[in-house]
Structure 1
Amino acid sequence: MHYKGYLIDLDGTIYKGKSRIPAGEAFVHELQAREIPYLFVTNNTTRTPETVRDMLATHFNIETPVSTIYTATLATIDYMNDQNLGKKVYVIGEAGLKDAIEEAGYIIDEEAPDYVVIGLDWQVDYEKFAKATLAIQKGAHFIGTNPDLNIPTERGLLPGAGSLIALVEAATRVKPVIIGKPKAIIMDKAIEHLGLEREEVVMVGDNYLTDIRAGIDNGIPTLLVTTGFTKPEEVSTLPIAPTHVVASLAEWDFDA
């Protein structure tokens, strides 16, 4: 299948932690040479698109415009703009999330926000959880940036945004709207940004549970590369098979 656009995961697909994946870099260079539209789609809310762009250029030999980077933060802002419930928000998250939301015209309000947004926050404490819980009980719209329960680090699997969201969900008994992969909101918005039909696009990633389910659950063809989270030996046991599977992005045929 000759795809007109590509949605691409980053960590585990284009690079792995701090290590380069040369085939991932070459894959992006080939997209650029062929002038095929692409969008990096990431659940990471701790980095701004500008930070991601600079990191790709500095460490991973990829020069890409900031417009090609679509984070769960941007998808959250797009969602809030669509909902149009007001401009007051309480955020649990890092500067990458808070700053972007404020730059989009939202005002931080701890007492009576229209939205409570929860993402990964390295400095989260009981008081932040208490404020979020009280605001949701008063009727604030509860948004979780992404469902990742864990994040892989050098120390091992640490609690991710999904774990923080789950605590507030337990405290409020209110189900949040989840934005990031594999949910529909980020994928619908990413497709919108590319300006293509979903069957013309392929979702490329290393994690079956997020990247590939994001495609499967939302009617988008998928390309699983077994360089990261999902291992080659797991492929035969996956409940719904990806459209394509490769051991390395070097195997991908753009013209097939």
Structure 2
Amino acid sequence: MAERKPIESWLTDMDGVLIHEGVPIPGADAFIKRLRESGKPFLVLTNNSIYTARDLHARLLRMGLEVPEENIWTSALATAKFLDDQRPGGTAYVVGEAGLTTALHAVGYVLTDSQPDFVVLGETRTYSFEAMTKAVRLINEGARFICTNPDATGPSLEGVLPATGSVAALITAATGKKPYFVGKPNPLMMRAGLNQIGAHSETSAMIGDRMDTDVLAGLEAGMTTYLVRTGLTSDADIDRYPYRPSRVVDSIADLVDRI
């Protein structure tokens, strides 16, 4: 493997890397503390679009992880940035929660169900048949179809939940229109995040627990990639993919001394 430049900025996934089922993973607090003390640019990323950065800051703080709002980057924020670049001051019909609607309002978007420029589908725990029907009809009438992330399922304390990707598949089946997914593994989310903190891919690292989103997005964005064993991916799973992370480590605790 070719020698890379020293790592000057860090991006890390949240679930499976820093926390698991609402509990901090051992070493996460030390990692965040070391990052903040170092002064190096960093972001905590999540494909989940339900919560605002302020919500996530408060949730992490209650777990003992002090991550400032400006160091949190969600698929909702990335989606809002993408739409603002594509069509500033546009309109959207949104199926999602406060994380997504707040991000779109912040870039000046008007949320409407009357001839919107876009139908934007995000994560929610209350998908309704009425909302999905409205989305199908608006897309058939010409609205462009955007999704915050492609995850087919998500975790919960009760078990697996259907997520954005599953609902997107339903809408695609009804309309024949495939969405554009902004979140991981689309490297667009990573590059937008790097721009947000003034970082460069050749001196940045991405830490994640999933090969198909975190590692793939980091790889395609040109970053060093670390896979941790505290999430969804086992060593046996790694060999099933045609690409590999730069390094595999047991947990985030193993990376504290690399900052």
* CA spacing shift, 1:238–1:171, aligned 2, 3 Å: same
Residue 10 (1) aligns with residue 1 (2) = no
Please give the alpha-carbon distance, in whole angstroms, between the structure 2 residues aligned to 1:100 and 1:250: 32
Match of 1:182 in 2: 185
Equivalent residues in 2 for 1:67-216, closer than 5 Å: 67-84=70-87, 86-216=89-219
1:36 to 35, 40, 59: 40
Q: Deviations over 1:111-148 (max 9, x none)?
A: 20011100122222222112111111222121000000
Moved more, 68-77 or 194-203: 194-203
Moved more, 151-160 or 45-54: 151-160
Matched letter for residue 91 of structure 1? V
Please give the alpha-carbon distance, in whole angstroms, between the structure 2 residues aligned to 1:92 and 1:253: 39
Determine helix, strand or coil for the equivalent of 1:234: helix
- What is the CA distance between 1:34 and its match in structure 2? 1.5
Please give the alpha-carbon distance, in whole angstroms, between the structure 1 residues aligned to 2:88 and 2:36: 39
Moved more, 123-132 or 232-241: 232-241
Match of 2:31 in 1: 27
Matched letter for residue 212 of structure 2? L
Maintained 8 Å contact 2:187/2:218:
no
Instruction: Report the TM-score, using the length of structure 1 for normalisation.
Output: 0.94
**Which contiguous aligned blocks of 4+ residues in structure 1 show a shift greater than 4 angstroms?**
253-256
* CA spacing shift, 1:26–1:127, aligned 2, 3 Å: same
Identity %: 36
Please give the alpha-carbon distance, in whole angstroms, between the structure 2 residues aligned to 1:95 and 1:253: 33
Matched letter for residue 221 of structure 2? N
Maintained 8 Å contact 2:89/2:108:
no
* Aligned Cα root-mean-square deviation (Å): 1.7
Matched letter for residue 233 of structure 2? T
Aligned length: 255
Q: Deviations over 1:73-95 (max 9, x none)?
A: 10011001111165211000112
Moved more, 121-130 or 206-215: 121-130
Match of 1:62 in 2: 65
Moved more, 126-135 or 6-15: 126-135
Please give the alpha-carbon distance, in whole angstroms, between the structure 2 residues aligned to 1:151 and 1:253: 28
Structure 2 gaps of 5+ residues are: none
Instruction: Report the TM-score, using the length of structure 2 for normalisation.
Output: 0.93
Please give the alpha-carbon distance, in whole angstroms, between the structure 2 residues aligned to 1:132 and 1:237: 36
Moved more, 69-78 or 188-197: 188-197
1:235 to 235, 238, 248: 238
Matched letter for residue 164 of structure 1? V
- What is the CA distance between 1:232 and its match in structure 2? 3.4
